[in-house]
């Protein structure tokens, strides 16, 4: 068994003066991650069946599965599952621009980013952990959890490191549609998973208060752009 050095970013709590350099380094690491390509699209675990030959097919299966979970568990959503599915379908054409299946972590919130300190006390990225949600797909999708409940466009340090290491971020209409789709997908997961995980009432309430408005905003963005 191997281990990455460091502790979760949330526990290390880097000083404000350290964070820009760390976000830049993280950008470089994520760009290197996105150089890894796969044989087809979808979850390599086979959880949703075989990999798909195109991203539209794979992502449609992914969103269909999470909405099926919502129905199965009776999970609360700010809109009916059928209405959510209908909105997502209107944006499916934008997925056809993705032709190369890239390794996407899809859970790059600070708790999954390890920070270590050198002997001189300098903070640096020690590794990225917890690939449970990893799939072959659109690298743009990773920008959602990297700016969880926020907007990656405001993270100049990360974007600088990402570009420095060869990462490319576009903000044309199709890219904005895809980002809205990926935001909706992640926020659906976050709302629905509280049921099978038997989260306590306080946790469920906090998740709903924080995530439901962001899901609504993502769906509204899809409606506006499509």
How confident is the model over 57-103, as pLDDT tens digits?
Answer: 999 999 999 999 999 999 999 999 999 999 999 999 999 999 999 99
pLDDT value for 2: 52
pLDDT in tens, 35-48: 999 999 999 988 88
2 is a domain residue: no
When pLDDT is averaged across residues 46-53 and rounded to a whole number, the result is 90
pLDDT in tens, 181-222: 999 999 999 999 999 999 999 999 999 999 999 999 999 999
| pTM summary value | 0.94
Burial bucket for residue 119 (CB in 10 Å: 0-12, 13-18, 19+):
exposed
**Backbone torsions φ then ψ of 220, nearest 5 degrees:** -65, -40
Q: What is the CATH number of the domain that holds 193?
A: 3.90.1200.10
30 is a domain residue: yes
1 is a domain residue: no
Kindly indicate the confidence band of residue 10, based on its pLDDT and cuts at 50, 70 and 90. confident
Q: Please answer whether residues 161 and 23 qualify as being in contact, where contact means their C-beta atoms are separated by less than 8 angstroms.
A: yes
Distance CA 30, CA 60 (A): 25
Pull the structure tokens for residue 196. 């099978």
- Asked whether the predicted pLDDT for residue 4 surpasses 80, the reply is no
Q: Which of 163, 187, 166 is nearest to 63 (CA)?
A: 187
CA of residue 105 relative to chain centroid, distance: 7
Owning domain of residue 182:
7-225
Count of structural domains within the chain: 1
Identify the bridge partners of residue 190 per DSSP, sorted by sequence position: none
42-46: list long-range contacts, CB under 8 Å, 24+ apart.
42/135, 42/136, 42/137, 43/134, 43/135, 43/136, 44/134, 44/135, 44/136
């Amino acid at each position: 068994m191997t281990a990455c050095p460091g502790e979760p970013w949330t526990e290390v709590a880097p000083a404000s003066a350290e964070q820009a350099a760390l976000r830049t380094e993280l950008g470089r690491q994520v760009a290197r991650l996105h150089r890894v390509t796969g044989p087809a699209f979808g979850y390599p675990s086979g959880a949703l069946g075989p990999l798909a030959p195109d991203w539209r097919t794979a992502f449609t299966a992914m969103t269909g599965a999470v909405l099926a979970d919502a129905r199965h568990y009776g999970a609360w959503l700010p809109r009916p599952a059928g209405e959510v599915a209908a909105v997502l379908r209107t944006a499916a054409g934008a997925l056809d621009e993705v032709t190369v299946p890239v390794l996407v972590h899809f859970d790059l919130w600070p708790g999954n980013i390890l920070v270590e300190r050198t002997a001189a006390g300098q903070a640096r990225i020690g590794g990225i952990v917890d690939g449970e949600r990893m799939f072959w797909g659109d690298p743009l999708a990773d920008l959602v959890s990297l700016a969880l409940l926020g907007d990656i466009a405001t993270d100049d340090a990360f974007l600088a490191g990402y570009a420095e290491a060869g990462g490319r971020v576009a903000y044309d209409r199709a890219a904005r549609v895809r980002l809205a789709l990926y935001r909706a997908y992640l926020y659906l997961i976050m709302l629905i998973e509280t049921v099978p995980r038997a989260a306590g009432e306080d946790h469920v309430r906090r998740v709903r208060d924080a995530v439901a408005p962001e899901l609504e905003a993502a769906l509204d963005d899809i409606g506006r752009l499509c």
